Amino acid sequence: MRLSRWLLLVAVLLLATVLGVAYGTLHLSLVDVLHGVTGTGSATEVAVVRQLRLPRVLLAALVGAGLGASGAALQGATRNGLAEPYLLGVSGGAAVGAVIAVALHAPVAVVPLCGLAGALAAVALSLVVARASGGQGDARVVLMAGVVVGAFANAAIMVALAGVDANAVRGALWWMMGSAADASWVQVRALAACVAIGVALLLGLARAIDLLALGEDAAAGMGVNVARVTLAVYVAGALLAAGTVAAAGLVGFVGLLVPHLARMAGARTHRSIIGAAALGGGALVVLADLAARVAHPPAELPLGAVTAILGVPFFLARLRKLT
Amino acid sequence: MIEFREVSVRYPRRDVEALSAVSLTAARGALTAVVGPNGSGKSTLVRALVGRVPVAGGAILVNGTPVDESGRRSLATRVAVVVQREEPAFPLQVREYVALGRYPHLGLFRAPSRGDRAAVDDALARMAAAHLADRSISELSGGEWQRVRLARAVAQGADAIVLDEPTTFLDIAHEMGVFELMSRLAREGRAVLLVSHQLNLVARFADHIVLLHRGHVAACGAPADVMQGAVLERVYEWPLVITRDPAVGALALVPLRSPARD
Amino acid sequence: MLFAIRVRHLTATASWVVLAGVLACGRAAPPTRGAHDDFGDTIAAAVAPRRIVSLNPTTTELLYAIGAGDRLVGRTSWDLYPPRVRDVPDLGPGLRPNVEAVIAARPDLVILYASDDNRDAARRLRAAGVRTVAFRVDRIADFARVTLELGRLTGDTVSARTTVDTVEATLARVRATTSALPRPTAFWILWESPLLAVGGGSFLNELLAVAGARNVYDSLPGPSPAVSFEDLLRRDPDLILASPASRQHILADPRWRALRAVRAGRVLVFDTTIVNGPSERVGASAVSLARLLHPGAL
């Protein structure tokens, strides 16, 4: 991808971040925002900017980057433009963990940890199920195991919500629809570490993904250990997605959509696609979070709803182009 | 040099072996062709070489070393395989695609050196595809795509090249071009192993032919030895005659019309 | 009268408050004068019931208050006051109840919560020959009306009248006292994620007004609207009401320090779980809340 495009992408991400910090329900002038950032403003300004908007915007950017990179890597490795980061039952497992926590009225800070535990359990379970079916070397078996685990998780969520009071149900649904509202600096730091490691891993595998994208036989002919590399990409992508789910719940469409946008912008090798998808995904989710905050005051829209609203027309347009 | 020694392959949950104790050698400096009807095991040979199907018996050796003793990547620096079907899911530029052929040397992390870039340019030039370097592979014609694929195999810089049906969907000019290239690559000292169903072209260009029938070697040797009516009729299960055309002197297989029509 | 504030978990009551309001969307026609319940169905005159099933925590409380509690043969899982109600068989949920379980208790009167979710249950119970009435006790005004109606149904008209009068007197006393006092703005948090506030449609909002404060979200029609944190910052209330657990989280979370009320130490604990809806305890709740908001006034 041309250098000018990369610069544009970085500029868009920076602009989105600035907008995200500058705008919100509480009206602050840019000067006030600056005072908030530097700590010289009033208590409200500093608190809004440093404790509310900045962690939230950074969390959103990290979630978008993680989902974009994961989706790009998975689409390349599966040679399928419809692959998305919530493979291996990640979304279902995370939802079970979080819903159970909410149903038990766990403190808000504990819910993401339960979500993460659920996601990790789902990935592990998918691998175990695949091994038990004798196909741990075949990536398709692992994928199918993930579907099975996800279906089981959905059933478990229904059961968990059956006898629970109305507010807890609302809390569970709110979590499942995705939100960056509870962002804290602790979460931002944890997610930053997770995304940095995950994206680095996927970028490292990028060349192998380029070869996988030619076909499994062709890749094998050029020396790629197809089974091992495919599994590595799946697991790295799923763990990256699990980290984002723990931080912000289920944010759909980003991992599906952004790799297409990256390829449309001219990224061709997977090193470029994954990198561009990370930057683009970050910008997208920051803007979606901004929209979620200001579209319908005093309430907030769920983040997943905003990204879905963006995603549906995009895919309709692609569909028309195919037919 | 590529050697198959008594190689047997059985696909899971199938009763019949796809390959039964098949032995053949693709020597350096020669164009060796594997021919046979559909289902005779030709593609299975290639898959066994790249490790996509498990080998039940026998051994495959490249330059004297069994393939399962070398790493996949190290093997790929010695044998370049052009598989039958390749459908890139996402568009790349031709140059980027050919550069992927350097993966066995670079691995995941090493940056391409000047030598790697030179290998890519050289391969494109040899395949007369240099003018296509900046085009997208999704825009290429069938013939151009095959040349580019071969360029990638050449860029891999291996001593041996294996090609599985490289001339599907190509017209006469491009077919001849590919066969002439393979012949040239062999004469330059490489071991070229070709899987093809184009018996007549194989007869003209190959130095050594192996005829497979239901997983067994039915005949092997120089074209004149293998192009025998009786054995070919038995293997292909169709009446045919072998002729030698007066103009070029090439052996050709001519299938006869079905007897029921007479 | 003084009731001690019992510390219990936030959500059980909050849930009924939510349900009460949320299902107010399925509001039946307003009850007309004469014997009609809140579904608009006629309440036929009949012999006083001896086996009552009450599928609503508030009506359960009211039945005990008017002296008809010992006739209860069935309640919901959410009915937990007064404590001796635990001896009454638990028949499951109050919304879309298990009709067979209700019929199996052989009641001669079933009291349902009047939401559209329960219309089907009402129909099926009546078809089975069981006398069924549906009431909605969501607002303080409903308390008086429904208590008197229950009194008529059970034959305890005198104690019903007494109950209503006592509570209304208490409420009037509190109103009178607080009307002369400055009214601070308040935010009453029901749930943290999403951030749910007591809204204009909740009886807790009415309680707050009686106790001498103004809910910053009074203008929102729902009983428990979701609000964004920044919007709360914009309104910057004088004080915050929260359950004990929520108060702990609020004080520990640096984001909340952006609010004046938190910085000034005005995060007050009022556990809403003790009051499911405007039952006979609403008077005492008003007193407790007023004492909390205006120390020394009552």
Determine, for residues A297 and C245 on separate chains, whether the beta-carbon distance falls below 8 Å. Answer: no
- Among residues A232, A269, A252, the alpha carbon closest in space to that of A64 is found at A252
When CB atoms are compared, the residue of C11, C78, C227 closest to A105 is C11
* Residues C156 and C199 reside in one and the same domain: no
Residue B85: is its pLDDT beyond 80? no
Contact yes or no for A153/A145 (Cβ under 8 A): no
| CATH code matching the domain that covers A3-322, chosen among 3.30.470.20, 1.20.1250.20, 1.10.8.350, 1.10.3470.10 | 1.10.3470.10
When CB atoms are compared, the residue of A204, A214, A217 closest to B88 is A214
Contact yes or no for A307/A252 (Cβ under 8 A): yes
What is the residue extent of each domain of chain B? 1-78+158-232, 91-157
A207 CA to chain B: closest CA distance, Å? 6
Handedness of CA A159, A164, A169, A172 (dihedral sign): negative
Which of the two residues, A322 and A143, has the higher pLDDT score?
Answer: A143
* Residues C135 and C51 reside in one and the same domain: yes
Which residues of chain A does B165 touch, with a Cβ-Cβ cutoff of 8 Å?
none
Residue B212 DSSP symbol: E
B205 CA to chain A: closest CA distance, Å? 25
- H/E stretch holding C151: helix C140-154
Q: Both tokens of residue C179?
A: 């009307």
Residue A43: is its pLDDT beyond 80? no
> Which residues 67-126 of chain C have a CB within 8 Å of chain A?
77-78
Which residues of chain A does C262 touch, with a Cβ-Cβ cutoff of 8 Å?
none
Q: Given a contact as 3+ CB pairs under 8 Å, which chains touch B? A: A
User: What ipTM did this prediction achieve?
Assistant: 0.86
Q: State the residue for tokens 């195991």.
A: A145
Determine, for residues C194 and A179 on separate chains, whether the beta-carbon distance falls below 8 Å. Answer: yes
A interface mutation test: which of C22, C229, C236 has the most A CBs within 10 A? C229
C90-93 LR contacts (CB < 8 Å, sep 24+): C91/C53, C91/C55
Q: Given a contact as 3+ CB pairs under 8 Å, which chains touch A? A: B, C
When CB atoms are compared, the residue of A107, A163, A170 closest to C194 is A170
Which residues of chain A does C225 touch, with a Cβ-Cβ cutoff of 8 Å?
298-299
pLDDT (mean) for A7-13: 95
- The span from the CA of A250 to the CA of A172, in Å, is 11
Contact yes or no for A144/A78 (Cβ under 8 A): no
A-B CB pairs within 8 A amount to: 87
Give the chain B residue nearest A223 (alpha carbons).
B73
> Does B29 lie at the interface with A, CB-CB under 8 angstroms?
no
- Among residues C82, C67, C88, C85, the alpha carbon closest in space to that of C3 is found at C82
Four-point Cα dihedral C206, C210, C212, C215, nearest 10 = 0
Q: Both tokens of residue C185?
A: 């703005």
Tell me what pLDDT residue C273 has: 67
Determine, for residues A220 and B52 on separate chains, whether the beta-carbon distance falls below 8 Å. Answer: yes
How do residues A47-95 score in pLDDT, each as one tens digit?
Answer: 888 888 999 999 999 999 999 999 999 999 998 888 889 988 888 999 9
In a domain, C178, yes or no: no
CA distances from A168 to A110, A153, A173, A233, C113 (A): 15, 18, 9, 36, 21
Tell me what pLDDT residue C36 has: 83
Q: State the residue for tokens 């990224």.
A: A267
Which residues of chain A does B107 touch, with a Cβ-Cβ cutoff of 8 Å?
207
> Does B88 lie at the interface with A, CB-CB under 8 angstroms?
yes
Handedness of CA B196, B199, B201, B202 (dihedral sign): positive
- What total number of domains does chain C contain? 2
- The span from the CA of C140 to the CA of B199, in Å, is 95
Tell me what pLDDT residue B260 has: 67
Instruction: Tell me the backbone φ, ψ of residue C133, rounded to 5 degrees.
Output: -130, 155
> Does A220 lie at the interface with B, CB-CB under 8 angstroms?
yes
Determine, for residues A25 and C228 on separate chains, whether the beta-carbon distance falls below 8 Å. Answer: yes
Tell me what pLDDT residue C3 has: 34
CA distances from A148 to A120, A141, A144, A239, A282 (A): 15, 11, 6, 18, 30
Tell me what pLDDT residue A180 has: 92
Amino acid at C286: A
- The span from the CA of A71 to the CA of A259, in Å, is 7
> Does A47 lie at the interface with C, CB-CB under 8 angstroms?
yes
Determine, for residues A79 and B89 on separate chains, whether the beta-carbon distance falls below 8 Å. Answer: yes
pTM: 0.86
Please report which residue ranges of chain B form alpha helices under DSSP H.
Answer: 42-50, 72-76, 94-99, 103-106, 114-126, 142-155, 172-187, 199-205, 223-226, 229-236
Q: What is the mean pLDDT of chain B?
A: 89
> Does C193 lie at the interface with A, CB-CB under 8 angstroms?
yes
Q: Both tokens of residue C288?
A: 């407790």
pLDDT (mean) for B118-141: 90
Those residues whose C-beta lies under 8 Å from the C-beta of residue A291, and which sit 6 or more positions away, are A301, A306
C92 CA to chain A: closest CA distance, Å? 10
The 3-state DSSP class for residue B7 equals strand
* Residues C218 and C95 reside in one and the same domain: no
A interface mutation test: which of C202, C255, C263 has the most A CBs within 10 A? C255
Tell me what pLDDT residue C125 has: 92
Tell me what pLDDT residue C275 has: 65
Rounded (5°) CA angle B113-B115-B116: 65
> Which residues 31-50 of chain B have a CB within 8 Å of chain A?
47, 50
Which residues of chain A does C190 touch, with a Cβ-Cβ cutoff of 8 Å?
167
- The span from the CA of A1 to the CA of B251, in Å, is 52
The 3-state DSSP class for residue C240 equals strand
Contact yes or no for C74/C91 (Cβ under 8 A): yes
A317 by Cβ neighbours in 10 Å (0-12 / 13-18 / 19+) ranks as exposed
| CATH code matching the domain that covers B1-78+158-232, chosen among 3.30.930.20, 3.40.50.920, 3.40.50.300, 2.40.40.20 | 3.40.50.300
Which residues of chain B does A211 touch, with a Cβ-Cβ cutoff of 8 Å?
100, 103
Q: Both tokens of residue C110?
A: 């079933």
How do residues B167-187 score in pLDDT, each as one tens digit?
Answer: 887 888 888 888 998 999 999
Other C-beta atoms within 10 Å of A40: how many?
10
Other C-beta atoms within 10 Å of A322: how many?
5
Tell me what pLDDT residue A19 has: 93
Tell me what pLDDT residue C1 has: 32
- Among residues B64, C240, B241, B137, the alpha carbon closest in space to that of A210 is found at B137
When CB atoms are compared, the residue of A47, A107, A168 closest to C255 is A47
* Residues C134 and C37 reside in one and the same domain: yes
Range of the domain at C49: 27-168
Domain with residue C242: its CATH number is 3.40.50.1980
- The span from the CA of B46 to the CA of B183, in Å, is 19
Contact yes or no for B178/B200 (Cβ under 8 A): no
pLDDT (mean) for B35-46: 89
Rounded (5°) CA angle B47-B51-B54: 90
In a domain, C22, yes or no: no
When CB atoms are compared, the residue of C192, C245, C255 closest to A51 is C255
How do residues B235-246 score in pLDDT, each as one tens digit?
Answer: 998 888 999 988
Q: pLDDT tier at B38 (50, 70, 90 boundaries)?
A: confident
Determine, for residues C226 and A52 on separate chains, whether the beta-carbon distance falls below 8 Å. Answer: no
B246 CA to chain A: closest CA distance, Å? 41
Tell me what pLDDT residue B248 has: 83
- Among residues A169, A86, A155, the alpha carbon closest in space to that of A122 is found at A86
pLDDT (mean) for B99-123: 91
Those residues whose C-beta lies under 8 Å from the C-beta of residue C83, and which sit 6 or more positions away, are none
* Residues C61 and C153 reside in one and the same domain: yes
Per-residue confidence in pLDDT tens, chain C, 298 aa: 333 333 333 444 444 544 444 444 444 434 434 578 888 888 877 788 999 999 999 999 999 999 999 999 999 988 888 899 999 999 988 888 989 999 999 999 999 999 898 999 999 999 999 999 999 999 999 999 999 999 999 988 999 999 999 999 999 999 999 999 999 999 999 999 899 999 999 999 999 999 999 999 999 999 999 999 999 999 999 999 999 999 999 999 888 988 999 999 999 999 876 667 899 999 999 999 999 999 988 7
> Does C148 lie at the interface with A, CB-CB under 8 angstroms?
no
> Does A24 lie at the interface with C, CB-CB under 8 angstroms?
yes
> Does A204 lie at the interface with B, CB-CB under 8 angstroms?
yes
Cis omega (within 30 of 0) on the bond before B88? no
A79 CA to chain B: closest CA distance, Å? 5
When CB atoms are compared, the residue of B83, B89, B108 closest to A205 is B108
* Residues C32 and C130 reside in one and the same domain: yes
Residue B160: is its pLDDT beyond 70? yes
Q: What is the mean pLDDT of chain A?
A: 90
Chains B and C touch (3+ CB pairs under 8 A): no
Total H helices, total E strands in chain C: 11, 9
Determine, for residues B108 and A207 on separate chains, whether the beta-carbon distance falls below 8 Å. Answer: yes
A-C CB pairs within 8 A amount to: 104
When CB atoms are compared, the residue of C18, C225, C257 closest to A167 is C18
Residue A11: is its pLDDT beyond 70? yes
Q: Given a contact as 3+ CB pairs under 8 Å, which chains touch C? A: A
Q: C126, C141, C168 — which closes off a domain?
A: C168
Query: Which range, of A135-144, A246-255, C89-98, averages the lowest pLDDT?
Result: A135-144
Tell me what pLDDT residue A281 has: 96
* Residues C98 and C190 reside in one and the same domain: no
When CB atoms are compared, the residue of A166, A174, A298 closest to C19 is A166
Instruction: Tell me the backbone φ, ψ of residue C172, rounded to 5 degrees.
Output: -65, -40
- H/E stretch holding C196: strand C196-197
> Does A162 lie at the interface with C, CB-CB under 8 angstroms?
no
Which residues of chain A does C22 touch, with a Cβ-Cβ cutoff of 8 Å?
166
Please report which residue ranges of C68-139 form alpha helices under DSSP H.
Answer: 99-104, 119-127
- The span from the CA of A219 to the CA of C191, in Å, is 53
Residue B133 DSSP symbol: T
Tell me what pLDDT residue C4 has: 33
Q: Residue C44's beta-bridge partner residues?
A: none
B interface mutation test: which of A214, A224, A268, A274 has the most B CBs within 10 A? A214
- The span from the CA of B79 to the CA of B73, in Å, is 10
Tell me what pLDDT residue B91 has: 87
Determine, for residues C234 and A25 on separate chains, whether the beta-carbon distance falls below 8 Å. Answer: yes
Determine, for residues A48 and C233 on separate chains, whether the beta-carbon distance falls below 8 Å. Answer: yes
A207 CA to chain C: closest CA distance, Å? 42
pLDDT (mean) for A266-289: 95
